[in-house]
Amino acid sequence: MNKQVATFGGGCFWCIEAIVQRLEGVTEVISGYAGGATTNPNYRAISTGTTGHAEVVQVTFDSDIISYEDLITIFMTSHDPTTPNRQGADRGTQYRSIILYHDTKQKQTVDMVLKSLKSSFPNSIVTEVAPLEAFYSAERYHQNYFNSNSTAGYCRVVIDPKIKKLREKYADKLKKEMMD
């Protein structure tokens, strides 16, 4: 196994978590907070928009099965990277589109993927790209949220359509047990 870690956010971490959990080669997904100044933030603090953190996921994956490039491409096409500080009804800096790279090679890959996707969107990509300085795991009740609460209103209205789009666009990248 060629284990690597990626960190990114695009709105509510429940949505991004549900998407990447379904990808073949992804071994762990942790919802959390990154990109801000406060040490050990919690959900209540980051919800104020004053800590500078974004809701993100930290993804452990086997790059022999799924490449970092594919992971970033799927992430970028699973949310709207052209709206600053907003995804759907979620508004605030904590919902911004952000990719936090772990090393120079990841930064180069991110730059390449963003450049290649530029013409895929009608508006300019506003995804923040920055080095990961610190990642803080979110509270337990935020972890594995969609899989544990798939009948909840938010999950059915917001996340289900994203999962459907993922299945249609990236069926070849999905774990077999996640096809249903």
Count helices and strands in the chain by DSSP H and E runs: 7, 8
Question: Which of 69, 62, 66, 58 lies closest to 9, judged by CA?
Answer: 58
Q: Is 15 a catalytic residue?
A: no
Which one is catalytic: 4, 10, 12, 173?
12
Q: Compute CA distances 179 → 13, 122, 147, 176, whole Å.
A: 21, 30, 14, 6
Return the bridge partners of 97, or none. 10
Alpha helix stretches (DSSP H) within the chain: 13-21, 43-46, 68-76, 104-117, 145-148, 153-154, 160-169
Return the bridge partners of 6, or none. 59
Q: Catalytic residue numbers?
A: 12
